[in-house]
Structure 1
Amino acid sequence: MSKLYTMEEASKHNTKQDCWLILDGKVYNVTKYLDDHPGGDDVLVHATGRDAIEDFDFVGHSESARELMETYLIGELDPSSVLQEKATTTRQQQQQHTDQKSTESSAFTYWFISLAIIVISVIAGSLYFPSKDQ
């Protein structure tokens, strides 16, 4: 049975000195391949921390490239860690949305109170300091 890695663990390997890729739920240590990658090492490092199978497929890698990847296979991604990662991301997005609404609400409240103070000041001024025409 192959070793299971969590998304968090695999994501920590995100440098040119230590680079792991996740492709379709499988974990690859491609550190030794970085210098040989035809697209450059930055492309691989940029693809760390997530399942990069869409990027891999989009480029249109050959069958020999797919076979070469198998030599770097070190394990599989623990499916439960992916669900936890998605749940965490969803919670973070919800919190950001709530924070944004709170900020918008605070801005509205600020302007509403400012406008109310101005209106009250004008009314009070006209009652306490009537114009000289009257």
Structure 2
Amino acid sequence: MLLSYEQVRAYELPATEGKHGDPRWSAFARRYGFGPACPVQWEAEALKPAELQRLVLAAVAPYVDRDVLARQVAVSVDQVREDAVVPCRCQSSGHGHFQPSSTAIIWSSGSTHMVCHVRIL
């Protein structure tokens, strides 16, 4: 995921040392007034997790097939009802599991990951 320079400035993200030898750096440095000999970079992970999630979901939303996602969520909800607890690396109640009333469904496609929180009534 890439952030625009405008986003970097708006979120006031800290700069870290960039990769020397990056062929894109000199053009970026000229465009935004940085020293060509001192590359810098900003990490998207420096954003607050909720804001990073919002940006990622907004970026991938136009490409999500809602019908396929709805079918996958329905299958996952059925599995959750059968299993009662879904083990997950995330924390919900501090026990490392999401209880059936607040379940995380993790969907992956290549390097894209989407987490849906489903409330089962």
TM-score of the two chains, using structure 1 as the length reference:
0.21
Bigger radius of gyration among the two: 1
Q: Which structure: greater helix fraction?
A: 1
TM-score of the two chains, using structure 2 as the length reference:
0.22
